[in-house]
């Protein structure tokens, strides 16, 4: 028997499968706080629920079976949509990873689904032979193989849990709207904290290193001079994801470069390094080389968070982007170090 | 608003001779790459494909093939560094 947690309310007695935990469809403060934490990138891969069968409402042998991943955020998004419904939820062991990513890795997959159906004795709990899977689980699951091995027929439900009620009410029919993956502003914004948190370690190390140099009176590179680079990091991890569809180029590295070069221009002008009576061409050149390289690199990293980039496409853009970024960054930082030590 | 990625790059291949018109590819594709026409699947816009591999895996008649994988620059860099042949999502692991 599973250890009781706050989102389990009681048990459902079944004839063939024993006691099944009944779960709440309401999210508590604790759930919401947990979501905030993982959205900030804190212990994201440790946020899981035990795999197995659960029930909401008063499910019986005719109730629908919904399959989910054991990433708690995915599981919560599903259960909160089931208020007032009677249904079974079959949670696969995806190692705490969401449906789409787990399907890509194969953990939300044919073998795990077949194993889980057998483990919970699903054929003794429901009398029908239908499973509803999230559509985004399809890259990992071969529906016809599941049917061959278990007798259960796979119905691919909507992409988003919020459409599940309408899907079931329509007799397991999804509208084209329910089937399409989009990437609206809200979804892009919710991903940016993880992008930003992803680079905090190197930033912290460099900042500490420079602080120590400062403390020893080695005034080589004052910490405040890091600010332009922090700006470039924000361009790559926040501004590019936010403005994504409106930046008029397709390659992500190029999107980052374009915004990075605009940022470098604005910065150089506002600091009086260019287009001023007393220009500082050397410093301006360092910014023009390093800032777009940094934002371009980080923007390229957002391909993994986006919902429409292909492996072949990313490989193609990287062939040009990675060498260009390395050359620009090497020239820029090399020039900067030369300026610091040679003081020409 | 329109999210479109690079042109003429995806590896999706479709053999209409093998298609029986079951329509599962239309169901599983997250970017509406397929449409049913005269009881056969047709490709609407190949460039919309993100190579997730859902259609290939679910086509019972092997009418579809695609080199599936993650369109993630970090994963590709990591797989190069670690010498893996297939980039995969290992974020935070």
Condensed to tens digits (0 to 9), the pLDDT of residues A209-224 reads: 888 888 887 777 788 8
Sheet holding A18-23, edge to edge: A8-14, A18-23, A52-56, A87-91, A65-68, A130-133, A153-156
Distance CA A195, CA B42 (A): 37
Nearest chain B residue to A303 by CA: give it: B72
Beta strand pairing status for A153-156 and A130-133? Answer: parallel
> Could you tell me if A99 lies within 8 Å of chain B, comparing CB atoms?
no
Percent of residues in chain A assigned helix, strand, coil, to nearest 5: 55, 10, 35
Contacts of A308 in chain B (CB under 8 A): 3-5, 31, 48, 50, 71
Tell me whether residues B27 and A312 touch, CB distance under 8 A. no
Question: What pLDDT, on a 0 to 100 scale, did the predictor assign at position A302?
Answer: 96
The model's pLDDT over A222-266, given as tens digits with 9 standing for 90+, comes to 888 899 999 999 999 999 999 999 999 999 999 999 999 999 999
> Could you tell me if A233 lies within 8 Å of chain B, comparing CB atoms?
no
CA distances from A331 to A288, A299, A306, A343, B47 (A): 11, 20, 30, 17, 36
Count of beta carbons in the 10 Å neighbourhood of residue A177: 11
Nearest chain B residue to A299 by CA: give it: B73
Count of beta carbons in the 10 Å neighbourhood of residue A213: 15
Mean pLDDT to the nearest integer, A313-331: 97
A141, A154 in Cβ contact below 8 A? yes
Mean pLDDT to the nearest integer, B53-81: 94
Closest to A308 (Cα-Cα) out of B89, B74, B2, B60: B2
Q: Which of B7, B28, B73 sits opposite A304 (nearest CB)?
A: B73
CA distances from B33 to A100, A189, A314, B29 (A): 18, 26, 19, 7
Question: What pLDDT, on a 0 to 100 scale, did the predictor assign at position A254?
Answer: 98
What is the DSSP-derived secondary structure letter of residue A307?
A: S
CA distance B81 to chain A (A): 14
Q: What pTM does this model have?
A: 0.90
B36, B27 in Cβ contact below 8 A? no
pLDDT at A344 over 70: no
Q: Is B32 strand, coil or helix?
A: coil
Count of beta carbons in the 10 Å neighbourhood of residue A338: 13
> Could you tell me if A44 lies within 8 Å of chain B, comparing CB atoms?
yes
In chain A, the percentage of residues whose pLDDT exceeds 90 is 78
> Could you tell me if A149 lies within 8 Å of chain B, comparing CB atoms?
no
Mean pLDDT to the nearest integer, B76-89: 82
Q: Which residues pair with A328 in a beta bridge?
A: none
Distance CA A53, CA A338 (A): 64
Question: What pLDDT, on a 0 to 100 scale, did the predictor assign at position A231?
Answer: 96
Q: Is A243 strand, coil or helix?
A: helix
Tell me whether residues A307 and B50 touch, CB distance under 8 A. yes
What is the DSSP-derived secondary structure letter of residue A152?
A: P
Distance CA A102, CA A100 (A): 5
Q: Which of B5, B7, B93 sits opposite A308 (nearest CB)?
A: B5
> Could you tell me if A136 lies within 8 Å of chain B, comparing CB atoms?
yes
Nearest chain A residue to B78 by CA: give it: A301
Q: Is A113 strand, coil or helix?
A: helix
Q: Which of B30, B50, B73 sits opposite A318 (nearest CB)?
A: B73
In chain A, the percentage of residues whose pLDDT exceeds 70 is 99
Tell me whether residues B60 and A184 touch, CB distance under 8 A. no
Tell me whether residues B3 and A306 touch, CB distance under 8 A. yes
Question: What pLDDT, on a 0 to 100 scale, did the predictor assign at position A308?
Answer: 96
Average pLDDT, chain B: 91
Count how many Cα atoms sit within 13 Å of the Cα of residue B42 in the half-sphere of its side chain. 6
Question: What pLDDT, on a 0 to 100 scale, did the predictor assign at position A38?
Answer: 87
What is the torsion angle, in degrees rounded to the nearest 10, for the CA atoms of residue A266, residue A269, residue A273 and residue A279? 150
CA distances from A171 to A90, A167, A168, A180 (A): 20, 7, 5, 19
Tell me whether residues A308 and B91 touch, CB distance under 8 A. no
Nearest chain B residue to A159 by CA: give it: B30
Question: What pLDDT, on a 0 to 100 scale, did the predictor assign at position A17?
Answer: 80
The model's pLDDT over A87-125, given as tens digits with 9 standing for 90+, comes to 999 999 999 999 999 999 899 999 999 999 999 999 999
Question: What pLDDT, on a 0 to 100 scale, did the predictor assign at position A2?
Answer: 61
Q: How many CB pairs under 8 A join A and B?
A: 144
Beta strand pairing status for B13-14 and B40-43? Answer: unpaired
The model's pLDDT over A154-195, given as tens digits with 9 standing for 90+, comes to 999 999 999 999 999 999 999 999 999 999 999 999 999 988
Confidence of residue B39 (pLDDT cuts 50, 70, 90): very high
Count how many Cα atoms sit within 13 Å of the Cα of residue A77 in the half-sphere of its side chain. 19
Closest to A157 (Cα-Cα) out of A65, A88, A56: A65
A253, A235 in Cβ contact below 8 A? no
The model's pLDDT over A293-319, given as tens digits with 9 standing for 90+, comes to 999 999 999 999 999 999 999 999 999
pLDDT at B93 over 50: no
- The A residues from 172 to 231 touching B (CB cutoff 8 Å) are 174, 176, 179-184
Report residue A179 as tokens: 């089937």
């Amino acid at each position: 028997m599973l250890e009781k947690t706050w989102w389990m309310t009681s048990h459902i007695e079944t004839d063939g499968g024993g006691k099944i935990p009944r779960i709440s469809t309401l999210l508590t403060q604790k759930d919401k706080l947990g979501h905030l934490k993982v959205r900030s990138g804190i212990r994201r891969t440790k946020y899981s629920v035990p795999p197995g069968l659960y029930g909401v409402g008063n499910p019986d042998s005719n109730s629908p079976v919904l399959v989910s991943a054991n990433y708690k955020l995915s599981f919560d998004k599903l259960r909160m949509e089931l208020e007032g419904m009677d249904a079974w939820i079959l949670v696969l062991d995806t190692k705490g990873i969401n449906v789409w990513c787990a399907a890509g890795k194969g953990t939300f997959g044919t073998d795990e689904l077949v194993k889980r159906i057998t483990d919970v004795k699903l054929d003794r709990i429901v009398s029908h032979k239908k499973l509803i899977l999230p559509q985004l689980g399809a890259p990992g699951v071969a529906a016809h193989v599941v049917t061959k091995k278990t007798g259960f027929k796979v119905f691919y439900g909507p992409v988003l849990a919020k459409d599940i009620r309408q899907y079931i009410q329509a007799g397991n029919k999804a509208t084209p709207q329910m089937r399409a993956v989009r990437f609206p502003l809200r979804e892009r914004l919710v991903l940016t904290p993880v992008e930003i948190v992803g680079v905090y370690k190197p930033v912290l190390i460099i900042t500490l290193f420079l602080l120590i140099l400062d403390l020893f009176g080695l005034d080589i590179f004052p910490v405040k001079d890091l600010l332009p680079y922090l700006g470039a990091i924000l361009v790559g991890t926040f501004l590019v994801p936010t403005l994504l569809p409106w930046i008029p180029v397709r390659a992500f590295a190029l999107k980052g470069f374009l915004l990075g070069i605009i940022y470098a221009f604005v910065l150089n002008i506002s600091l009086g390094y260019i287009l001023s009576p007393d220009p500082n061409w050397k410093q301006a050149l360092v910014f023009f080389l390093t800032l777009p390289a940094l934002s371009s690199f980080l923007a390229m990293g957002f391909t993994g968070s986006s919902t429409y980039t292909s492996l072949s496409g990313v490989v193609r853009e990287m062939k040009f982007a990675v060498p260009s970024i390395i050359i620009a960054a090497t020239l820029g930082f090399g020039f900067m170090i030369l300026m610091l030590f040679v003081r020409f | 608003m329109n999210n479109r990625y690079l042109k003429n790059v995806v590896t999706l291949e479709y053999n209409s001779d093998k298609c029986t018109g079951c329509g599962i590819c239309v169901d599983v594709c997250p970017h509406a790459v397929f449409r049913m026409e005269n009881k056969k699947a047709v490709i609407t816009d190949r460039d919309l494909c993100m190579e997730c591999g859902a259609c290939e895996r679910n086509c019972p008649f092997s009418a579809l093939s695609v080199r599936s994988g993650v369109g993630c620059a970090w994963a590709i860099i990591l797989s190069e560094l670690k010498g893996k042949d297939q980039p995969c999502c290992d974020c935070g692991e």
